[in-house]
A and B are shown apart, each in its own frame.
Chain A
């Protein structure tokens, strides 16, 4: 960062291969704290893979990736890298919330049960404290009356809002959104984007993989267009969306807008 603050996420030459297939081919980018950072691009461009690398759901093959100044998945001592133990990886993941395209709520737990699970089991907080906080979070995403419903009894939009509350319950410093509205019926997209907009206003650092150009333009502080595992174009959302420089960005935007 030019102004001396530590970047929330910094990627330098990040590469990721699955067997012979190279999905990320050298990603360089920085996400400043309190920014809403949008990732767009065609499917298969590697944006979801990059997001999953940030909380070490995928192992980076080459390059350096760090969150809040600390390497993801490794510890550096001298010029040697040591792989982190499972416990240490879990500890780091607690600080990063993630919201999935298909919600991935725990179907055998109620909405409030989903939200309470990790703070109780992972952080070992007391049940009463967590319950109170969880109910507040559900209220914040507009689902106070649904706290005892099971996920199958909720609409897609409601499920995704519970999923956001579940991630927030761990009090993360960074939130990752992996196409959070792609699996929703069009009329349910708005309610999820509203929650995300509120979260952005409160100053949460967010990385959002999305196809919602309206959201990106309105809420995003920075936007990156990815294609075939590389960053093709980056800038402020307004610039990139209204005035794309690169030909591939232009053709992609002409199809989605």
Chain B
């Protein structure tokens, strides 16, 4: 109790500051968590059984998996899947943001049109939309530019060769995605404090400037995580293109197993590639989210790489010192 007391009461019943001194560090026996050990044991046994099945079941034909994993036709399928995902997501994001801004517009016709678009494209299965776009040439015979219901210049009457399988798939996936992205973007825009718009208006910024420079960058923080999920989801949804015969990853695997009847190993090949690509996207999503968190937190938490470097830096001097 030798430490200096800040004006302390004499401890005669009232509240106040009392002298404490230097307490000894606490040494207690920790609580035993038996349940955790039991749960861990059960999971480990199940995992061992699963691994055993994976490696001993002959039908998995791991040698076939290895043989086709980097086959040229599979790799082409991977490239096509990536192309589809990028194009469809790009269409979805651009059109989605436009639809979101339209839905928040003051003009009821404009917001109504956006509402109907979203209602229609979210309300029908994407598979149906894909097949519809593929069948488009049977209902649209020519495309022309001119006065509505008046004179027009014919652009093409060969819609069949204009709407290729690739175009049909891009339209189907992209236009459908736009409906979902519109709702995500709208939620993001609405999440931005109204005071931000007021401050920008008070500075004389126009509505478009305010949206582009002030509202959307802040809405991004809310928009990015679900958009990452949508991209991962799109990567897998693009496999629906196999239905109309566009050669993406799943269809290129199907072409092989239709010929060789090695269905299971080729599905494993496709799954390995899907898992690989979604893993890359997950890492990308983490860094993009960080980029848009600027200003939202006082200090960004370190990335896994930075953490690793920190740990190494802490270890290194002690190693150098010979401990």
Write the residues of chain A forming the contact surface with B, with a CB cutoff of 8 angstroms: 55, 57, 86-87, 90-94, 96-98, 100, 102, 104-109, 117-118, 121-122, 150-153, 163, 166-167, 170
User: Which one, B130-138, B178-186, B210-218, is touching chain A?
Assistant: B210-218
CB distance from B107 to the nearest CB of A (A): 14
User: Which one, B2-10, B234-242, B292-300, is touching chain A?
Assistant: B292-300
Look across to chain B and name the residue whose beta carbon is closest to the beta carbon of A92. Answer: B204
Contacts A/B (CB < 8 Å), 16 sampled: A55-B202, A90-B204, A92-B204, A93-B203, A94-B204, A98-B202, A100-B198, A104-B195, A104-B198, A107-B296, A108-B294, A118-B203, A121-B205, A122-B204, A167-B203, A170-B204
Given A107-B218, A117-B213, decide whether A90 and B295 contact each other with a Cβ distance below 8 A: no
Look across to chain B and name the residue whose beta carbon is closest to the beta carbon of A153. Answer: B298
Partner of B199, one of A96, A106, A153, A170: A106
Given A107-B296, A108-B218, A109-B295, decide whether A122 and B196 contact each other with a Cβ distance below 8 A: no
Across-interface contacts of B199 in A (CB, < 8 A): 98, 100, 104-106, 163
Look across to chain B and name the residue whose beta carbon is closest to the beta carbon of A105. Answer: B199
Given A108-B218, A121-B213, decide whether A150 and B295 contact each other with a Cβ distance below 8 A: yes
Look across to chain B and name the residue whose beta carbon is closest to the beta carbon of A113. Answer: B295
Say whether A93 contacts B196, CB under 8 Å: no
Partner of B204, one of A100, A118, A151: A118
Q: Which of B200, B204, B206, B295 has the most CB of A within 10 A?
A: B204
Q: Which of B195, B201, B203 has the most CB of A within 10 A?
A: B203
With A and B bound together, what is the CA distance between A142 and B199 in angstroms?
Answer: 22
Given A121-B213, A152-B297, decide whether A106 and B202 contact each other with a Cβ distance below 8 A: no
Say whether B207 contacts A86, CB under 8 Å: yes
Q: Which of B199, B200, B206, B298 has the most CB of A within 10 A?
A: B199
Among all A-B residue pairs, the 4 with the closest Cβ atoms:
A94-B204, A104-B199, A118-B203, A98-B202
Say whether B203 contacts A166, CB under 8 Å: yes
Across-interface contacts of A153 in B (CB, < 8 A): 298
Say whether A122 contacts B203, CB under 8 Å: yes
Say whether A57 contacts B203, CB under 8 Å: no
Asked whether B156 is an interface residue with its Cβ less than 8 Å from the other chain, the reply is: no
Look across to chain A and name the residue whose beta carbon is closest to the beta carbon of B214. Answer: A106
Look across to chain A and name the residue whose beta carbon is closest to the beta carbon of B213. Answer: A121
A94-B203, A121-B209, A122-B204 known; 11 new pairs, CB 8 Å cut-off, are A57-B198, A90-B205, A92-B204, A93-B201, A100-B195, A104-B193, A107-B218, A108-B218, A118-B205, A152-B295, A153-B298
Across-interface contacts of A106 in B (CB, < 8 A): 196, 199-200, 214, 218
Interface size class of B (residues with CB under 8 A): 20 to 34
Given A104-B196, A121-B209, decide whether A93 and B202 contact each other with a Cβ distance below 8 A: yes
CB distance from A40 to the nearest CB of B (A): 22
Across-interface contacts of B206 in A (CB, < 8 A): 86-87, 90
With A and B bound together, what is the CA distance between A150 and B207 in angstroms?
Answer: 24
CB distance from B201 to the nearest CB of A (A): 6
Across-interface contacts of B294 in A (CB, < 8 A): 108, 150
Given A104-B195, A104-B196, A104-B199, decide whether A152 and B204 contact each other with a Cβ distance below 8 A: no
With A and B bound together, what is the CA distance between A105 and B199 in angstroms?
Answer: 8
With A and B bound together, what is the CA distance between A168 and B203 in angstroms?
Answer: 10
Across-interface contacts of B204 in A (CB, < 8 A): 90-94, 118, 122, 170
- Annotate B97-121 by CB proximity to A: 1 below 8 A, 0 otherwise: 0000000000000000000000000
Look across to chain A and name the residue whose beta carbon is closest to the beta carbon of B204. Answer: A94
With A and B bound together, what is the CA distance between A122 and B294 in angstroms?
Answer: 24
CB distance from A73 to the nearest CB of B (A): 13
With A and B bound together, what is the CA distance between A93 and B198 in angstroms?
Answer: 11
Look across to chain B and name the residue whose beta carbon is closest to the beta carbon of A150. Answer: B295
Say whether B213 contacts A151, CB under 8 Å: no
With A and B bound together, what is the CA distance between A55 and B193 in angstroms?
Answer: 20
Across-interface contacts of A150 in B (CB, < 8 A): 294-295
Q: In residues 11-63 of chain B, which contact A (Cβ within 8 Å)?
A: none
Look across to chain A and name the residue whose beta carbon is closest to the beta carbon of B299. Answer: A153
Across-interface contacts of A152 in B (CB, < 8 A): 295-298
Partner of B217, one of A86, A98, A108, A167: A108
CB distance from B282 to the nearest CB of A (A): 24
Look across to chain A and name the residue whose beta carbon is closest to the beta carbon of B217. Answer: A108
CB distance from A107 to the nearest CB of B (A): 4
Q: In residues 201-253 of chain B, which contact A (Cβ within 8 Å)?
A: 201-207, 209, 213-214, 217-218
With A and B bound together, what is the CA distance between A150 and B294 in angstroms?
Answer: 8
Across-interface contacts of A107 in B (CB, < 8 A): 218, 295-296
Across-interface contacts of A87 in B (CB, < 8 A): 206
CB distance from B213 to the nearest CB of A (A): 6
Across-interface contacts of A97 in B (CB, < 8 A): 202
